[in-house]
Amino acid sequence: MDATIQTHIENLFKDLVKQKYLQSDPDWLKQTLFKVPRHHFIEQYYDHEEPSKIVQVESPRPTSKQLEMIYSDRGLMIREDPHSAASQPVLIFGMLEDLKLTTGLKVLEVGTGSGWNAGLIACSVGDDSLVYSMDLQADLVEKARNHLNAIGFNHVNLRAGDAGLGWDGETFDRIIVTVGSPDIPPAWAESLIEGGILVMPLKTRGVGDPILRLQKREGKLTGKFTRWAGFMSLQGNFCSSSEDRLEPSWDSGVEALLQEEPTSVSLPAVCGTDCAFWLRLNGVPIQTLGEYNGSYTNAPVLLDRELPALYVPYSGSFPFGTDKRMDVYGSQELVDGLVKKVEEWADLGGPKYTDYHIELIDPTGSDDASFYSYIDKRPNATLRFSLEDVS
């Protein structure tokens, strides 16, 4: 291997081992990065400095600047319409940790993309014929096949199609979803063997796509969120749900609210990601608007179109705010309700999103929600989020 390429792989390895929440064995991590060189999988990407500019990667020997980008710990947009991206390496390896891969496991990947992740999985299970990967974009699947073949993985099972429907009744030890999904298709639960693990980004309105890790025990899927993330959205038959329209347009109702004089609200705690998740479970609508007063790009806000009211955090970066204040446009009723719910969250000790025990439950059962338990109904999955262990 070219010395320059080796240096870039070494640099990415060093960046990854510095990540405190990444627990991969360093020797395995390094070997995998060298066995599945990322530059073999990236044919083009959008320039971060000029987002409209497409960089065509020179093959087989990318330029030094291209190698620096490819081996940086960042996600790369590789196609805009339809969207596809090569995910951030630290996030990919974190999800592989959540899968707990070992030799001999059979794995389904939902969202082939460039094929890099399928190669990493093949290294982890020791047999590329145990890896199955699906993507709706047929040409991407063929490109991924070429990428994998180029490094000697000739037996990965690749298919163009809707992975939400499963793979011809095949069962799997592990399923990994590399697109943000607003639902859990029945085929994923059905094709997972007893003891199997499903790892997926679950779209959660306005507060991102936290990685959900579920394990099948006695036929039931239970688990927790493991880390925060943001992903391209799942396409196909299972792309729609109550979690849709994460980025509603600036309509006349929103514009009218912003013409009012806002109320400055002092909150009992910083309304960060964990508080935002609590609010969302407790019925506070959270959505993302593209811009606020011409200054914030993609700044999430709390928006209730029925009352109506609009919350805007002082930092302009909710749910990652650092300030205990917030501007509220509209109903005083909603102001009071928001403050009360933030107080409830603070009184519980500020539970984190990773504190919730999550169960996939029978949607025909009773909605036994309580102060510590919340029911989240989606078209094909009903989830219970519980905080029984929080005191």
Q: Which positions are annotated as active-site residues?
A: 87
| Residues whose CB is less than 8 angstroms from the CB of residue 386 and which lie 6 or more positions away in sequence, other chains included | 356, 357, 358, 359, 372, 373, 374
Give the containing element (helix H, strand E) for 213: strand 211-217
Nearest partner of 306 among 283, 279, 278, 276, judged by Cα? 283
172-177 vs 263-266, strand pairing mode: unpaired
For the beta carbon of residue 336, count every other beta carbon within 10 angstroms.
11
Residue 196, CA distances (Å) to 119, 167, 223, 357 in order: 20, 16, 12, 18
Residues 230, 300 contacting (CB under 8 angstroms): no
β-bridge mates for residue 277, sequence order? none
- Provide the residue count of the chain: 391
- Neighbour-count burial of 138, counting CB atoms closer than 10 A to its CB (0-12 exposed, 13-18 middle, 19+ buried): exposed
Preceding peptide of 82 cis, ω within 30°: yes
Nearest partner of 388 among 205, 224, 271, 210, judged by Cα? 224
d(CA 296, CA 289): 9
